[in-house]
Each structure stands twice: as structure tokens, then as C-alpha cells.
Chain A
């Protein structure tokens, strides 16, 4: 099991909004920045959000990130069929004496 918990799947219609949650603990999300990645079928992950809510250049403002306590959320508005992908959250986890980068199990977004 992943240290960070994401719903296995979410779905919504084109044009609608969807949110993807990422739940952790004080040893990871609670005390570290969260990043989000989009993985289109058959391709490498692509950075969508870093430092909880910042977008790299070229990422449309339809994508947003937020964090509250030990959970983070990715929001996507104006859904397009091209947004169908797997989405992963990531952060640092310090529960062990030696920390590590951890990822959520991924959420498959279906645009109906």
C-alpha cells in the first residue's frame, strides 16, 4: 500500500470540475510540500503542481492545488477528454529515521 491515499478513480463530464484527494499524515503531507503529476496513457509523468499550489509554466490555470492539514487536493475545471489520465500526488515522508520521497497510488480520471 502507498503511504499517501488517493481514490482509485474519479469521473466527470466534459466541461465539469473534478477534485482528486491525497491523504497522508503529519510525517509527510502535514509537514512537507505536495506535488501533483499527470500521466497520460503510455507516457512519462508530467509535473502539474509543485509546492502545494504552484503551476509550472505552460500548465493551464484549469489545474489547481491546495493543502489543508494532512491532506491535499488537485482540482481540474473545464474538463476535456484530453485530461483522461492517471494523477499522482507526491511528497517527502520522514516517518523513518531516513526519509524518502513517497507517492500516492494514483487516481484514474475518466471524462465521460
Chain B
């Protein structure tokens, strides 16, 4: 059974870069056929898709975040990562990683999520 687990810094200062990693177990990122996404949820609010990456390294980002987002994959460690630069308080959220079959936009499974707070 595929499982995803987010990790990274829970507290980031304004203007700095948020960095998170999603470790994949029970399956291989390199096997293909899927995209690997980051999705976030500000406290008490709805879901916002950040972007996804294929095992090949091809990426696709939310246009509203594109200038600040980098998603990368480390096939040797079976994980993928998110970097979000120039963060502000508006980037405070629970960040989830999730998988979607290629050419679809439904996500299953999801990681448990990790809260990132932007504060000085």
C-alpha cells in the first residue's frame, strides 16, 4: 500500500524559503504512470493545488505560485520536494503531498500533512 510522508521545517521566517520533502513508501516514483503533487490548506480554509512533477522530472505549477515554486524529484531516495521562496504569512498552511494517475487530476493517496508557519 502506497504511503506518503511529509517532512521539513515547521517554522519559516518571512522572505525566506520554505522547504519540504515527501517520502514515498510501498511503491516507486520511478515506475512511472503518476504525477506527484503538493497541495496546501491554510488554517480553516480550503485546498490549493501548488504543482506536480512526473518521475521524468517534468513539472507543472499553479500559475499564481509559479514564480516562487520549485518541485524536484530524487529517484534514488524515492522522494520529491517542494521549495517555496519569498514566503509571507499568507503561505502559512498545512502542506500535503499526494499522487495522481497520469492524465488525471484526482489525488490518492495523500500524506498526513505538515503545518508550516511563517513568522518572525
Contact = CB atoms under 8 A, between A and B. Distances in A.
**Do A and B belong to a common assembly?**
yes
Interface of A: 2, 32-33, 35, 37, 43-47, 50-51, 56, 88, 90-92, 96, 98, 100-106
A92 B96 CA distance: 18
26 contacts: A32-B105, A33-B106, A35-B106, A37-B47, A37-B107, A44-B110, A44-B113, A45-B47, A45-B96, A45-B110, A46-B110, A50-B104, A50-B108, A51-B104, A56-B108, A90-B105, A92-B105, A98-B66, A100-B62, A100-B64, A101-B62, A101-B105, A103-B46, A103-B48, A105-B46, A106-B46
Contacts of A90: 47, 105-107
B74 to A, nearest CB: 23
Interface of B: 37, 46-49, 62-64, 66, 96, 104-113
A103 B106 contact: no
Chain B's interface: helix, strand, loop or mixed, by majority? loop
B105 A91 contact: yes
Contacts, number: 60
Contacts of A101: 37, 49, 62, 105
A37 B62 CA distance: 20
Contacts of B107: 35, 37, 45, 47, 90
Contacts of B48: 103
A103 B110 contact: no
B47 to A, nearest CB: 4
A102 B49 CA distance: 7
Given A2-B46, A106-B46, 20 more contacts: A33-B104, A35-B105, A37-B47, A44-B113, A45-B96, A46-B108, A47-B108, A50-B108, A90-B105, A92-B105, A96-B63, A100-B49, A100-B63, A100-B64, A101-B62, A101-B105, A103-B46, A103-B47, A105-B46, A106-B47
